[in-house]
Amino acid sequence: MVKNYVIDTNVLIQAPDALQCFEDNRIILPLAVLEELDGLKKAEGETGASARSVIRFLEQLRQKGNLLEGVNMENGGWLRIEKNFREEVLPEEFSDRTSDNRILKVCIGLQRECPEQVILVTKDMVMRLKAQMLGIQAQDFIKEQVLEQENQYSGRGEYFVPEELFKEFKKKGIKTEEIYGVTEEGERYTPVLAENQFVIIKADQSAKKTHLGRVENGVLRKLEYRKSTPYGVTPRNAGQYFLQEALMQPAEKAPLVIVKGMAGTSKTFYSLAVGLEKVLNHPTGEYRRILVCRPNAQFDDDIGFLPGDEQEKISPLLRPIIDNLEQLIDSNEEERYKDERELQGKIDEIFSRGLIQAEALNFIRGRSIVKTYLIIDEAQNTTPNQIKGIVTRAGKGTKIILLGDPNQIDRPFLDERTNGLSYAAEHMKGSPLCWQITMGAEECERSLLAMDAAKRL
């Protein structure tokens, strides 16, 4: 049965191609949405770019017919703009002045006139609550949703191998079909392992013996960089060994690294350590610089109103990067903060030499980034569209590292299933060019308190 989907503005801003995702159903755009798009088309960053993209698509449809009467789309769907139903009566608690309530009026009017099902699609949870109060069916835009967090790909696993194969692992590796898991009922099964997945293997006759490996072309191989100490940092747990392996690999072999994990699991710290090792400690020309971007929940909107040049505007967002640099540049914990000026001078020198640069996320759009070690910190605050834009900016020799915690999202209309970090992790699973690792709560190394709080809170 054909359905009528009324689309809210926030859906189009987050996913500009959303109008083409409803198959052969009917799409209704309230005039209020068109007015909001018009008001947003000159906005900076992703918001303005998304609004302009949707307006261009609507212009293409306008050239094919009358949007007030409806125009057929290439995917079999049908779209029209609805300017009526302004006289619909809402409960007196609902103001007539807001765009949201004007959209709700359209839904009420359509329900009365259309025999087909009417569904409001919005990213706004409050809007969905208001719709329910008015007897309007409402849903989230789910095309970009990935699996629930506990079912998302972690990039790692823990399995068993026969004792005789375990002994030959470092020399020959182990074919993935020889690896097995054990269910709670004690039954064996052969796991489905993705390309580049990290694995802890145990000998089935002596489970205390373990090796760390990575899947490559159907074979579990030993880690190449397990003995490395980038910028003097030594791995302290299995997750950090896996993280180090992914980060140390050259951009030609591992151009995209996705790291998920809660605060204190050394995601940013280790990424900076490897970057400094490659660019400063043992420069081989592999990368020209380290480029750090750290999106903020309202970054696109607020940066233009902050004082100073671009670097001064984004410096408050980069304070966590500076904190990690302080620990890396002076590893002596007892002496590190005795001379604050000297420590700050060392950090300033790195930035002044251009070895580390920081840029606003919206300035990456349209660029081709070459031979750069690019860190996107707090990537859970990006949209799927932003992540696509970032990854497609990678030029020759560039390595992109996406870091974040899907449980710590500050941006409106995003959650653990729709943020750019989780979206990239699920869609890049199995790619030979993408290496992934999810750090566990037990791998928190910030402090004893941080580890205890991560488990308890």
Query: What fold characterizes domain 234-456?
Result: Rossmann fold (3.40.50)
Query: What fold characterizes domain 146-222?
Result: 2.30.130
Structure tokens of 354?
A: 């251009």
Per-residue pLDDT at 336: 52
CB burial of residue 415 (10 Å; 0-12, 13-18, 19+): middle
Per-residue pLDDT at 308: 54
| Residue of 358, 229, 387 whose CA lies nearest to 289 | 358
CATH of 3-139, one of 3.90.78.10, 3.30.300.20, 3.30.1360.70, 3.40.50.1010: 3.40.50.1010
pLDDT in tens, 290-344: 999 888 644 444 444 445 555 565 566 677 788 888 888 876 555 555 667 887 8
The residue ranges of every structural domain in the chain are: 3-139, 146-222, 234-456
How many Cβ atoms sit within 10 Å of the Cβ of residue 133? 11
Find the distance separating the first CA and the last CA of the chain, reported in whole Å. 47
Entry pTM? 0.84
Per CATH, 3-139 and 146-222 having the same topology is answered: no
One DSSP character per residue, 185-229 reads: TS-EE---PPTT-EEEEEETTEEEEEEEEEEETTEEEE-SSTT--
Per-residue pLDDT of the chain (457 residues; tens, 9 = 90+): 889 999 999 999 999 999 999 999 999 999 999 999 999 999 887 889 899 999 999 999 999 999 999 999 999 999 999 999 988 889 988 887 899 999 999 999 999 988 789 999 999 999 999 999 999 999 999 888 888 888 899 999 999 999 989 988 999 999 999 999 999 898 999 999 999 999 999 998 876 889 999 999 999 999 999 999 999 999 999 999 999 999 999 999 999 999 999 988 999 999 999 999 999 888 888 999 999 988 864 444 444 444 555 556 556 667 778 888 888 887 655 555 566 788 788 888 888 888 888 877 766 766 778 999 999 999 999 999 889 888 987 889 999 999 999 999 988 888 899 999 999 999 999 999 999 999 998 888 777 777 677 667 6
Strand partners, 29: 81
pLDDT in tens, 28-44: 999 999 999 999 999 88
Measured distance CA(314)–CA(335) in Å, rounded = 29
